[in-house]
Protein backbone atom coordinates (compact mmCIF):
# COMPACT_ATOMS: atom_id res chain seq x y z
CA UNK A 1 0.00 0.00 0.00
CA UNK A 2 1.27 3.48 -0.75
CA UNK A 3 0.15 6.66 0.98
CA UNK A 4 0.62 10.39 0.51
CA UNK A 5 1.05 11.22 4.22
CA UNK A 6 2.37 7.97 5.74
CA UNK A 7 4.97 5.35 5.14
CA UNK A 8 4.64 1.75 6.23
CA UNK A 9 7.79 -0.39 6.22
CA UNK A 10 8.53 -3.92 7.40
CA UNK A 11 11.60 -5.61 8.92
CA UNK A 12 10.59 -9.18 9.65
CA UNK A 13 7.84 -9.21 12.26
CA UNK A 14 8.25 -5.50 13.05
CA UNK A 15 6.27 -2.90 11.09
CA UNK A 16 7.10 0.80 11.26
CA UNK A 17 4.48 3.41 10.50
CA UNK A 18 6.01 6.84 9.88
CA UNK A 19 3.81 9.93 9.85
CA UNK A 20 5.24 11.74 6.90
CA UNK A 21 4.34 15.42 6.46
CA UNK A 22 7.57 16.85 7.90
CA UNK A 23 7.11 20.35 6.43
CA UNK A 24 3.97 20.72 8.58
CA UNK A 25 5.59 18.84 11.51
CA UNK A 26 3.45 15.80 10.61
CA UNK A 27 0.31 17.61 11.77
CA UNK A 28 -2.77 15.45 11.33
CA UNK A 29 -4.90 16.67 8.42
CA UNK A 30 -8.05 14.93 7.16
CA UNK A 31 -6.07 13.05 4.53
CA UNK A 32 -3.66 11.68 7.14
CA UNK A 33 -6.49 10.55 9.41
CA UNK A 34 -8.15 8.83 6.45
CA UNK A 35 -4.90 7.15 5.41
CA UNK A 36 -4.14 6.14 9.00
CA UNK A 37 -7.54 4.44 9.12
CA UNK A 38 -6.87 2.60 5.85
CA UNK A 39 -3.37 1.59 6.88
CA UNK A 40 -4.34 0.34 10.36
CA UNK A 41 -7.40 -1.43 8.94
CA UNK A 42 -5.21 -3.23 6.42
CA UNK A 43 -2.62 -4.46 8.95
CA UNK A 44 -5.12 -5.35 11.69
CA UNK A 45 -5.52 -8.92 10.41
CA UNK A 46 -1.86 -9.43 9.46
CA UNK A 47 -0.74 -12.16 11.82
CA UNK A 48 2.87 -11.89 10.59
CA UNK A 49 3.20 -8.53 12.42
CA UNK A 50 4.25 -8.91 16.06
CA UNK A 51 4.94 -5.26 16.85
CA UNK A 52 4.13 -1.89 15.29
CA UNK A 53 6.33 1.16 15.83
CA UNK A 54 4.67 4.53 15.23
CA UNK A 55 7.00 7.47 14.64
CA UNK A 56 7.36 10.77 12.78
CA UNK A 57 9.53 11.93 9.89
CA UNK A 58 11.92 14.82 10.58
CA UNK A 59 12.08 16.84 13.80
CA UNK A 60 8.54 16.12 15.03
CA UNK A 61 6.50 13.11 16.05
CA UNK A 62 3.20 14.92 15.38
CA UNK A 63 2.60 18.61 16.25
CA UNK A 64 -1.14 18.07 16.67
CA UNK A 65 -4.17 18.33 14.44
CA UNK A 66 -3.69 20.55 11.39
CA UNK A 67 -4.56 23.98 12.80
CA UNK A 68 -4.93 25.58 9.36
CA UNK A 69 -7.50 22.98 8.32
CA UNK A 70 -9.46 23.58 11.53
CA UNK A 71 -9.85 27.25 10.54
CA UNK A 72 -12.21 26.10 7.78
CA UNK A 73 -14.43 23.91 9.93
CA UNK A 74 -17.80 24.70 11.53
CA UNK A 75 -19.05 23.09 14.77
CA UNK A 76 -20.66 20.15 12.95
CA UNK A 77 -17.61 19.31 10.83
CA UNK A 78 -15.41 19.99 13.88
CA UNK A 79 -17.31 17.34 15.83
CA UNK A 80 -17.08 15.01 12.84
CA UNK A 81 -13.32 15.59 12.79
CA UNK A 82 -13.02 14.54 16.44
CA UNK A 83 -15.16 11.45 15.84
CA UNK A 84 -13.20 10.42 12.73
CA UNK A 85 -9.87 10.66 14.59
CA UNK A 86 -11.26 8.90 17.66
CA UNK A 87 -12.47 5.99 15.51
CA UNK A 88 -9.05 5.64 13.86
CA UNK A 89 -7.14 5.90 17.18
CA UNK A 90 -9.48 3.24 18.58
CA UNK A 91 -8.43 0.89 15.76
CA UNK A 92 -4.82 1.57 16.77
CA UNK A 93 -5.55 0.93 20.44
CA UNK A 94 -7.33 -2.34 19.68
CA UNK A 95 -4.71 -3.85 17.36
CA UNK A 96 -4.05 -7.42 18.47
CA UNK A 97 -0.24 -6.97 18.45
CA UNK A 98 1.98 -4.61 20.47
CA UNK A 99 2.23 -0.98 19.43
CA UNK A 100 4.94 1.45 20.54
CA UNK A 101 4.90 5.21 20.03
CA UNK A 102 8.47 6.23 19.21
CA UNK A 103 8.35 9.94 19.99
CA UNK A 104 11.28 11.52 18.20
CA UNK A 105 10.32 15.20 18.68
CA UNK A 106 7.20 17.32 19.27
CA UNK A 107 4.16 15.27 20.33
CA UNK A 108 1.55 17.94 20.90
CA UNK A 109 -2.22 17.87 21.11
CA UNK A 110 -3.45 15.22 18.68
CA UNK A 111 0.16 13.99 18.47
CA UNK A 112 0.28 13.14 22.17
CA UNK A 113 -3.22 11.69 21.82
CA UNK A 114 -1.95 9.43 19.01
CA UNK A 115 0.98 8.32 21.18
CA UNK A 116 -1.40 7.61 24.08
CA UNK A 117 -3.42 5.26 21.85
CA UNK A 118 -0.30 3.07 21.51
CA UNK A 119 0.52 0.46 24.17
CA UNK A 120 3.37 2.56 25.53
CA UNK A 121 5.57 5.51 24.68
CA UNK A 122 9.34 5.65 24.20
CA UNK A 123 10.76 9.10 23.64
CA UNK A 124 13.93 10.88 22.73
CA UNK A 125 15.40 12.89 25.61
CA UNK A 126 14.91 16.02 23.48
CA UNK A 127 11.22 15.35 22.68
CA UNK A 128 8.64 17.90 23.80
CA UNK A 129 5.13 16.90 24.73
CA UNK A 130 1.88 18.42 25.86
CA UNK A 131 -1.68 19.35 25.04
CA UNK A 132 -1.71 23.01 23.89
CA UNK A 133 -5.37 22.89 22.77
CA UNK A 134 -6.44 25.41 25.46
CA UNK A 135 -4.03 27.95 23.93
CA UNK A 136 -6.19 27.74 20.77
CA UNK A 137 -9.55 27.89 22.51
CA UNK A 138 -9.96 24.16 21.99
CA UNK A 139 -9.97 21.02 24.07
CA UNK A 140 -8.44 17.64 23.26
CA UNK A 141 -10.63 15.85 20.73
CA UNK A 142 -8.73 12.70 19.83
CA UNK A 143 -9.17 11.04 23.23
CA UNK A 144 -6.67 13.08 25.27
CA UNK A 145 -8.96 13.99 28.16
CA UNK A 146 -9.86 10.31 28.50
CA UNK A 147 -6.62 8.41 27.80
CA UNK A 148 -4.32 10.87 29.61
CA UNK A 149 -6.60 10.67 32.66
CA UNK A 150 -6.49 6.88 32.57
CA UNK A 151 -2.70 7.01 32.15
CA UNK A 152 -1.77 9.43 34.96
CA UNK A 153 -4.97 10.05 36.94
CA UNK A 154 -7.24 13.11 36.97
CA UNK A 155 -5.00 15.46 39.00
CA UNK A 156 -1.99 15.30 36.67
CA UNK A 157 -4.20 15.11 33.58
CA UNK A 158 -5.83 18.36 34.69
CA UNK A 159 -2.46 20.01 35.20
CA UNK A 160 -1.16 19.00 31.79
CA UNK A 161 -4.34 19.91 29.88
CA UNK A 162 -5.23 23.10 31.81
CA UNK A 163 -1.75 24.62 31.55
CA UNK A 164 -1.45 23.75 27.84
CA UNK A 165 2.29 23.95 28.46
CA UNK A 166 4.90 22.00 26.56
CA UNK A 167 6.85 19.62 28.81
CA UNK A 168 10.15 17.79 28.41
CA UNK A 169 10.22 14.06 27.78
CA UNK A 170 12.11 13.72 31.08
CA UNK A 171 9.21 15.33 32.95
CA UNK A 172 6.70 13.14 31.09
CA UNK A 173 8.77 10.10 32.02
CA UNK A 174 8.64 11.08 35.71
CA UNK A 175 4.84 11.39 35.43
CA UNK A 176 4.56 7.97 33.79
CA UNK A 177 3.28 9.19 30.42
CA UNK A 178 6.56 8.05 28.83
CA UNK A 179 7.88 4.57 29.68
CA UNK A 180 11.55 5.22 28.82
CA UNK A 181 13.70 7.91 27.21
CA UNK A 182 16.81 7.51 25.05
CA UNK A 183 19.33 9.78 23.34
CA UNK A 184 17.76 10.79 20.05
CA UNK A 185 20.54 9.10 18.06
CA UNK A 186 19.67 5.74 19.69
CA UNK A 187 15.90 6.03 19.98
CA UNK A 188 14.81 4.02 16.95
CA UNK A 189 17.46 1.35 17.50
CA UNK A 190 16.44 0.94 21.17
CA UNK A 191 12.76 0.85 20.19
CA UNK A 192 13.51 -1.90 17.66
CA UNK A 193 15.34 -3.90 20.34
CA UNK A 194 12.26 -3.72 22.57
CA UNK A 195 9.99 -4.56 19.60
CA UNK A 196 12.20 -7.51 18.75
CA UNK A 197 12.00 -8.71 22.33
CA UNK A 198 8.19 -8.51 22.26
CA UNK A 199 8.19 -10.32 18.89
CA UNK A 200 9.67 -13.41 20.59
CA UNK A 201 6.71 -13.63 22.99
CA UNK A 202 3.48 -15.52 22.39
CA UNK A 203 1.24 -13.46 20.07
CA UNK A 204 -1.80 -15.10 21.65
CA UNK A 205 -0.66 -14.09 25.15
CA UNK A 206 0.12 -10.54 23.93
CA UNK A 207 -3.37 -10.20 22.45
CA UNK A 208 -5.07 -11.53 25.61
CA UNK A 209 -2.91 -9.37 27.91
CA UNK A 210 -3.85 -6.26 25.91
CA UNK A 211 -7.53 -7.16 26.21
CA UNK A 212 -7.22 -7.81 29.96
CA UNK A 213 -5.67 -4.38 30.54
CA UNK A 214 -7.80 -2.26 28.20
CA UNK A 215 -11.11 -3.84 29.13
CA UNK A 216 -10.21 -4.31 32.80
CA UNK A 217 -9.31 -0.66 33.35
CA UNK A 218 -12.95 0.24 32.62
CA UNK A 219 -14.28 -2.21 35.22
CA UNK A 220 -14.34 -2.67 38.99
CA UNK A 221 -11.48 -4.73 40.45
CA UNK A 222 -13.83 -7.69 41.01
CA UNK A 223 -15.04 -7.58 37.38
CA UNK A 224 -11.48 -7.12 36.12
CA UNK A 225 -10.31 -10.18 38.04
CA UNK A 226 -13.14 -12.24 36.54
CA UNK A 227 -12.15 -11.02 33.10
CA UNK A 228 -8.52 -11.91 33.79
CA UNK A 229 -9.45 -15.45 34.87
CA UNK A 230 -11.52 -15.94 31.69
CA UNK A 231 -8.70 -14.66 29.46
CA UNK A 232 -6.26 -16.84 31.41
CA UNK A 233 -8.52 -19.79 30.49
CA UNK A 234 -8.32 -18.73 26.83
CA UNK A 235 -4.51 -18.67 27.05
CA UNK A 236 -4.62 -22.09 28.68
CA UNK A 237 -6.31 -23.73 25.69
CA UNK A 238 -3.89 -22.18 23.18
CA UNK A 239 -1.16 -23.92 21.20
CA UNK A 240 1.16 -21.12 22.32
CA UNK A 241 0.69 -22.12 25.96
CA UNK A 242 1.45 -25.74 25.14
CA UNK A 243 4.53 -24.71 23.15
CA UNK A 244 5.77 -22.20 25.77
CA UNK A 245 5.56 -24.70 28.61
CA UNK A 246 7.06 -27.59 26.57
CA UNK A 247 9.92 -25.34 25.44
CA UNK A 248 10.67 -24.40 29.07
CA UNK A 249 10.69 -28.04 30.17
CA UNK A 250 12.81 -29.10 27.17
CA UNK A 251 15.22 -26.17 27.76
CA UNK A 252 14.82 -24.70 24.27
CA UNK A 253 13.47 -21.48 22.75
CA UNK A 254 9.72 -21.55 22.03
CA UNK A 255 8.32 -21.26 18.49
CA UNK A 256 5.03 -19.47 18.91
CA UNK A 257 2.39 -19.38 16.20
CA UNK A 258 -0.23 -17.20 17.86
CA UNK A 259 -2.77 -20.01 17.89
C1 LIG B 1 -0.62 23.00 11.05
C2 LIG B 1 1.54 23.26 11.75
C3 LIG B 1 1.23 22.71 13.02
C4 LIG B 1 -0.13 22.30 13.25
C5 LIG B 1 3.31 23.24 13.01
N6 LIG B 1 2.84 23.56 11.79
N7 LIG B 1 2.33 22.72 13.78
N8 LIG B 1 0.63 23.40 10.78
N9 LIG B 1 -1.00 22.47 12.24
N10 LIG B 1 -0.52 21.72 14.41
C11 LIG B 1 3.57 24.15 10.66
C12 LIG B 1 3.91 25.60 10.91
O13 LIG B 1 2.79 26.43 10.57
C14 LIG B 1 5.06 25.81 9.96
O15 LIG B 1 4.56 25.92 8.64
C16 LIG B 1 5.79 24.46 10.05
O17 LIG B 1 4.84 23.51 10.54
C18 LIG B 1 6.97 24.48 11.01
O19 LIG B 1 6.49 24.95 12.26
P20 LIG B 1 7.16 26.15 13.06
O21 LIG B 1 6.13 26.72 13.97
O22 LIG B 1 7.84 27.10 12.12
O23 LIG B 1 8.28 25.35 13.89
P24 LIG B 1 8.91 25.74 15.29
O25 LIG B 1 9.19 27.21 15.38
O26 LIG B 1 10.01 24.77 15.51
O27 LIG B 1 7.74 25.46 16.37
C28 LIG B 1 7.32 24.14 16.59
C29 LIG B 1 6.00 24.14 17.42
C30 LIG B 1 4.96 25.05 16.74
C31 LIG B 1 6.29 24.62 18.83
C32 LIG B 1 5.55 22.67 17.46
O33 LIG B 1 4.88 24.70 15.35
C34 LIG B 1 3.59 24.90 17.30
O35 LIG B 1 3.28 25.46 18.37
N36 LIG B 1 2.68 24.21 16.61
C37 LIG B 1 1.31 24.04 17.02
C38 LIG B 1 1.20 23.02 18.13
C39 LIG B 1 -0.23 22.87 18.61
O40 LIG B 1 -0.85 23.84 19.11
N41 LIG B 1 -0.80 21.68 18.49
C42 LIG B 1 -2.16 21.36 18.94
C43 LIG B 1 -3.10 21.52 17.76
S44 LIG B 1 -4.79 21.30 18.22
P45 LIG B 1 4.97 27.16 7.68
O46 LIG B 1 4.15 26.92 6.45
O47 LIG B 1 4.66 28.39 8.42
O48 LIG B 1 6.44 26.94 7.48
C49 LIG B 1 -4.98 19.62 18.28
C50 LIG B 1 -6.38 19.13 18.52
C51 LIG B 1 -6.49 17.64 18.42
O52 LIG B 1 -4.07 18.87 18.13
C53 LIG B 1 -7.93 17.18 18.46
C54 LIG B 1 -8.68 17.41 17.21
C55 LIG B 1 -10.07 16.84 17.17
Q: Is residue 255 part of a domain?
A: no
- 160 and 214 together in one domain: no
C-beta of residue 181 within 8 angstroms of C-beta of residue 170: yes
State yes or no: pLDDT of 9 exceeds 90. Answer: yes
Q: Is residue 150 part of a domain?
A: yes
Tell me, in angstroms, the distance from the centre of ligand 1 to residue 191's CA. Answer: 26
Tell me, in angstroms, the distance from the centre of ligand 1 to residue 13's CA. Answer: 33
pTM here is 0.97
- 105 and 13 together in one domain: yes
Q: Tell which of 199, 214, 239 closes a domain.
A: 199
The answer to whether 113 is a known catalytic residue is yes
- pLDDT digit string, tens, across residues 227-249: 999 999 999 999 999 999 999 99
The per-residue pLDDT for 75 is 95
State yes or no: pLDDT of 158 exceeds 90. Answer: yes
- Could you list the residue range(s) of the whole structural domain that residue 220 is in? 203-249
- 131 and 63 together in one domain: yes
- 194 and 215 together in one domain: no
Residue with the smallest CA separation from ligand 1 atom 43 is: 64
State yes or no: pLDDT of 14 exceeds 90. Answer: yes
- pLDDT digit string, tens, across residues 100-110: 999 999 999 99
- pLDDT digit string, tens, across residues 77-93: 999 999 999 999 999 99
Residues linked to residue 59 through DSSP beta bridges, in sequence order = none
* b/e map 168-181, b = 16+ CB within 10 Å: bbebbbebebbeeb
User: Residue 1 — pLDDT band, cuts 50, 70, 90?
Assistant: confident
- 110 and 227 together in one domain: no
List, edge to edge, every strand of the sheet that includes 166-168.
60-62, 106-108, 128-130, 166-168
- 210 and 125 together in one domain: no
Alpha carbons 197 and 126: distance in angstroms, whole number:
25
- 187 and 230 together in one domain: no
CATH code, domain with 190: 3.90.226.10
- 27 and 129 together in one domain: yes
Q: Tell which of 199, 225, 240 closes a domain.
A: 199
CATH code, domain with 245: 1.10.12
- pLDDT digit string, tens, across residues 18-70: 999 999 999 999 999 999 999 999 999 999 999 999 999 999 999 999 999 99
Structurally, how many domains does the chain consist of? 2
- 152 and 239 together in one domain: no
Residue with the smallest CA separation from ligand 1 atom 41 is: 64
Q: State the chain's mean pLDDT as an integer.
A: 97
Q: Is residue 26 part of a domain?
A: yes
- pLDDT digit string, tens, across residues 117-147: 999 999 999 999 999 999 999 999 999 999 9
State yes or no: pLDDT of 222 exceeds 90. Answer: yes
Q: Is residue 258 part of a domain?
A: no
Residues found in the chain:
259
- 18 and 135 together in one domain: yes
Q: Tell which of 158, 181, 199 closes a domain.
A: 199
Q: Is residue 69 part of a domain?
A: yes
Cβ of 82 less than 6 Å from ligand 1: yes
Cβ of 138 less than 6 Å from ligand 1: yes
Among 89, 24, 29, which residue's Cα sits nearest to residue 58? 24
Q: Is residue 218 part of a domain?
A: yes
Alpha carbons 18 and 178: distance in angstroms, whole number:
19
The mean pLDDT value for 176-204 works out to 98
Tell me, in angstroms, the distance from the centre of ligand 1 to residue 184's CA. Answer: 21
Catalytic-labelled residue, pool 7, 11, 113, 223: 113
- 207 and 101 together in one domain: no
- 130 and 27 together in one domain: yes
Q: Is residue 257 part of a domain?
A: no
Q: Is residue 219 part of a domain?
A: yes
Amino acid sequence: MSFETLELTREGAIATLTLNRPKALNSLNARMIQELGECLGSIREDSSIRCLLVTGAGKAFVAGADIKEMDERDPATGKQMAEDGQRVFQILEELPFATIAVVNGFALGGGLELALACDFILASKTAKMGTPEVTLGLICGYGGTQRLTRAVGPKLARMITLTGDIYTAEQMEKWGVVAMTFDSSNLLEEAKKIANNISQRSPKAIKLTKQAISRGVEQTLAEGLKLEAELFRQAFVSEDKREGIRAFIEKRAPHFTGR
